[in-house]
Amino acid sequence: TRRRVAVLGAAATIGVGSPLRYAKAAEFSFKWGTNVPDSHPLNVHGRKAAAALMEATNGRVELRMFPNNQLGGDADMFSQLRSGALECFSLSGVNVLSTMLPAAAISGVGFAFKDYPTLWKAMDGKLGEWLRAQIARTGLVVQEKIWDNGFRQVTTSTRPILKPEDFNGLKIRVPVSALWTSLFQGLGASPTSLNFAEVYSALQTKVVDGQENPPAIISAAKLFEVQKHCSLTNHMWDGWWFLMNRRAWGQLPPDLQRTFSTVIDAAAMAQREDVARQNEALKADLAAKGLIFNDVDPAPFRATLSKAGFYQTWKQKFGPEAWGILEESTGPLA
């Protein structure tokens, strides 16, 4: 029976979408780097997309996933993407992309989107279109549908965030991004910029006392092991653009480009559903693991940011055109 199980195992491995199912090596083989652990829906749906792409192109296009910062942190993967060493990279516009393209951060303005319907309408509509046009101007290729990370919540090892004053002096990790730093400075905290690859150990060694991410990441990266409180601030939404190196993209003939985009965007849509579900469902799971949750009224936090000049500052930095497009979907912010 042992041998039988092994044989069945092998047969199951050579399944739909497996490279071994195809006689020839793929004509196009792209690496795809991500910054979150293997079990996160970004990677789960990424692997499904890779299998679907293999199937749809009869083995001509292969996508190899490198999750969990295996190829280096965000800054490393971003420079590999730009040089062509990495063909595909999932990256938040508010993260290191904004160090090269400040406009890309506009979707991360604090307390801008009140819920998912408002958000998707903007990102699948005029705001998303505007953002992709900005990204395209940098020479990168971006697929249409942004992948979901979620509404972000603050975790700490020290005290819960109940009111804005609880941020005073809090050492909190934020991604490497002027907008993120400004947001938490505006709330009175002391933000430290770190790539996600460094977050677990920075929390464990108490270099920082807190961080902010949605439940799906808190769970996949096991941040509950080194954090005690989770305050449901919903202070901003974030997602990952599917970015590609332009020369790599240009290698694909137009029909394969179309198939590629169709498969990737369909996977993004399925991933969004999974993430939204996980970000709700995992709260109970994380609570059972010891994380203490509290709800937060966003109004006083938003008022604190306004008073600190956050909205005025960023309205000016992004400029009237971009800010106008943002406010078309969110309503007045500044």
> Cβ 239 to ligand X2X, closest distance in Å?
9
Beta-strand relationship, 153-156 and 229-232: antiparallel
Q: Which of residues 161-190 bind ligand X2X (CB under 6 A)?
A: 175
Token code pair at residue 94: 């508010």
> Cβ 282 to ligand X2X, closest distance in Å?
15
Q: Which of residues 31-70 bind ligand X2X (CB under 6 A)?
A: 35-36
* From 69, 92, 182, 233, residue interacting with ligand X2X (rule: CB under 6 A): 92
Closest-by-Cβ residue to ligand X2X is 196
Spatial distance between the Cα atoms of 122 and 286, rounded to a whole number of angstroms: 30
Place of tokens 């961080």: 211
Q: Residues 294-313: x/- map of binding to ligand X2X (CB under 6 A)?
A: --------------------
Q: Which is nearer to ligand X2X, 26 or 97 (CB)?
A: 97
Tell me how far the alpha carbon of residue 214 is from its chain's centroid. 10
Decide if residue 149 touches ligand X2X (CB under 6 A).
Answer: yes
* From 43, 57, 80, 95, residue interacting with ligand X2X (rule: CB under 6 A): 95
Place of tokens 């394969």: 256
> Cβ 330 to ligand X2X, closest distance in Å?
20
Q: Which is nearer to ligand X2X, 49 or 194 (CB)?
A: 194
Compute how many other C-beta atoms are within 10 angstroms of the C-beta atom of residue 115: 10
* From 53, 217, 276, 282, residue interacting with ligand X2X (rule: CB under 6 A): 217
Tally of helices (H runs) and strands (E runs) in the chain? 13, 12
Q: Which is nearer to ligand X2X, 17 or 175 (CB)?
A: 175
Q: Which is nearer to ligand X2X, 49 or 105 (CB)?
A: 105
Decide if residue 227 touches ligand X2X (CB under 6 A).
Answer: no
The β-bridge partners of 154 are 212, 231
Decide if residue 238 touches ligand X2X (CB under 6 A).
Answer: yes
8 A C-beta contact, residue 53 and residue 22: no
Beta-strand relationship, 237-244 and 147-151: antiparallel
Residue type, 254: P
Question: Rounded to the nearest 5 degrees, what angle is found at the Cα of 180, between the Cα atoms of 227 and 308?
Answer: 105
Q: Which is nearer to ligand X2X, 211 or 245 (CB)?
A: 211
> Cβ 87 to ligand X2X, closest distance in Å?
19
Integer CA distances (angstroms), 257 to 26, 89, 262, in order: 15, 17, 9
> Cβ 275 to ligand X2X, closest distance in Å?
12
What dihedral angle (degrees, nearest 10) is formed by the CA atoms of 160, 165, 170, 175?
Answer: 90
- Which residues are at the interface with ligand X2X (CB under 6 A)? 35-36, 92, 95, 149, 175, 196, 213, 217, 238
